[in-house]
Chain A
Amino acid sequence: QKEVEQNSGPLSVPEGAIASLNCTYSDRGSQSFFWYRQYSGKSPELIMSIYSNGDKEDGRFTAQLNKASQYVSLLIRDSQPSDSATYLCAVGGGGYQKVTFGTGTKLQVIP
């Protein structure tokens, strides 16, 4: 059984700060990693995907992957109140259609 672990939070950060969200996974064969944002009452929205070790940046978001440590993180720079949501980490195997989702970390950005 693949497991994806996230701290449920809430993680509270002041507006303008960097929010750091973390995720660990159990399957060493995992090769695809995703971050989704989910606002209350809405569906998950893909914000980042990462497949290789290292950092991947997209605007204010940076995904970091360390396969040796089985760890993936999401950094949100210059956090805004509109970033307040639950962030879901998802992990999949290479050449494999299914992903396993973590239970999510709730982020609160305080104005």
Chain B
Amino acid sequence: NAGVTQTPKFQVLKTGQSMTLQCAQDMNHNSMYWYRQDPGMGLRLIYYSASEGTTDKGEVPNGYNVSRLNKREFSLRLESAAPSQTSVYFCASSEGTGDMYEQYFGPGTRLTVT
């Protein structure tokens, strides 16, 4: 049981390049989330998916797109990377039903845009 996995762990991009961050969970959770974490800013929600087939914007969605490929996988795409997108990106998942809103996080992707 690996929990939440993310690839890649590190990435360096040049301004204007594109990339996709991958996330998968094996806990049969309904909901999945993408956050970014910047010094002094805390965790900020980029996009989330309450259930398979649905996605919705979070606090900072500009410059990103997401795909909920199936129940297990939720990807985040940067179409044209900018230096302001240099950050640590975390994927998380939760049961998302009843009272089970605890979120479990992946190890993160450290992205630098030059």
Complex formed: what's the CA distance from A67 to B101 in Å? 18
Which chain A residues (12-29) contact chain B, with CB distance < 8 Å?
Answer: none
With an 8 A cutoff between CB atoms, is B31 at the interface? yes
Contact code string B29-56 (vs A, CB < 8 Å = 1, else 0): 0010101000011111100101000000
Stretch of B65-73, B79-87, B104-112 on the interface side: B104-112
B90: nearest residue on chain A (CB-CB)?
A43
Q: Which of A42, A46, A51, A104 contacts B103 (CB 8 A)?
A: A46
Complex formed: what's the CA distance from A44 to B33 in Å? 13
Q: Are A98 and B96 in contact (CB under 8 A)?
A: no
Q: Are A98 and B45 in contact (CB under 8 A)?
A: yes
Residue tally, chain B, CB below 8 Å to A:
24
Which chain A residues (34-71) contact chain B, with CB distance < 8 Å?
Answer: 34, 42-46, 49, 51
Given contacts A43-B90, A43-B106, contact A97 B42 (CB under 8 A): no
Query: Separation in Å of the B14 CB from the closest CB of chain A?
Result: 24
With an 8 A cutoff between CB atoms, is A11 at the interface? no
Q: Are A99 and B101 in contact (CB under 8 A)?
A: yes
Complex formed: what's the CA distance from A49 to B94 in Å? 13
B residues at A contact (CB < 8 Å): 31, 33, 35, 40-45, 48, 50, 58, 90, 94, 96, 99, 101-108
Given A43-B90, A99-B103, 6 more A-B residue pairs with CB atoms under 8 Å apart are: A42-B107, A44-B43, A46-B104, A88-B43, A101-B43, A103-B41
A residues at B contact (CB < 8 Å): 32, 34, 42-46, 49, 51, 88, 90, 92, 96-99, 101-104
